Amino acid sequence: MTVFAVIGHVAKTTGDFTLNDMPGGAGRMDVLCRCVNTSLFLSHDLRRDVTVYAVLLGGTDAPKTVMISGEKVRYLNPDERSAGSLIRKALEIPAGEEFRESTKGVFVRRGGLDRLLREYEFSVLDEGGMDIAAAKDLPGAFILSDHMDFTADEQELMKCLPKYSVGPRVLHADHTITVVLNCIDRRMAGIE
């Protein structure tokens, strides 16, 4: 299984936002939506072995974490509004300490990065990291930031984790995920 966790530094944690203004009123929720979609979609199929976490830090009810399971998710289409709609529904149910399912394959709980870091052996996708194509063994869990840099506190929490980049240019979070998945696909197929 492959895991991606994306930190939404200003993303809302309550469902009172409109899908017509995800970059503005929802706190760059559009970035999270694109990351969900690039993590899970194949042509006419879903990546059933991928799970995505959206760590939402910007709202009045922060932190919350939304988990989307590629194995279980339903009602997800490739457009941004579709992922936004599922995330919004997750933020509309009461969040507890443990994950609760809001729609098929979409779950929400309280808590943020520190808790998630204890649950997986993450590597960090960061422009300063080692080229992932040159990694001997690929990690199974990746953490990355939205349109903002990691904060000093986040960097402190992750200072001992391996860091990887995806090439010579600095890419958007969703494009970074696509490159990582292509790298994984190639390794699994024995093509490098």
The minimum distance between CB 190 and a copy of itself, in angstroms, equals 9
Q: Is 185 an interacting residue with respect to a copy of itself (CB under 8 A)?
A: yes
What is the rounded distance in angstroms from the CA atom of residue 42 to the CA atom of residue 21?
Answer: 26
Query: Which residue, 38 or 65, has its beta carbon nearer to a copy of itself?
Result: 38
Within 165-184, which residues bind a copy of itself (CB under 8 A)? 166-172, 175, 178-179, 182
CB of 186 to a copy of itself, least distance (A): 5
Using CB under 8 A as the binding rule, the residues of this chain from 31 to 60 that contact a copy of itself are: 31, 34, 38, 41-45
Q: Which residues bind a copy of itself (CB under 8 A)?
A: 19-20, 22-23, 30-31, 34, 38, 41-45, 77-82, 127, 131, 133, 147, 166-172, 175, 178-179, 182, 185-186, 188-189, 191
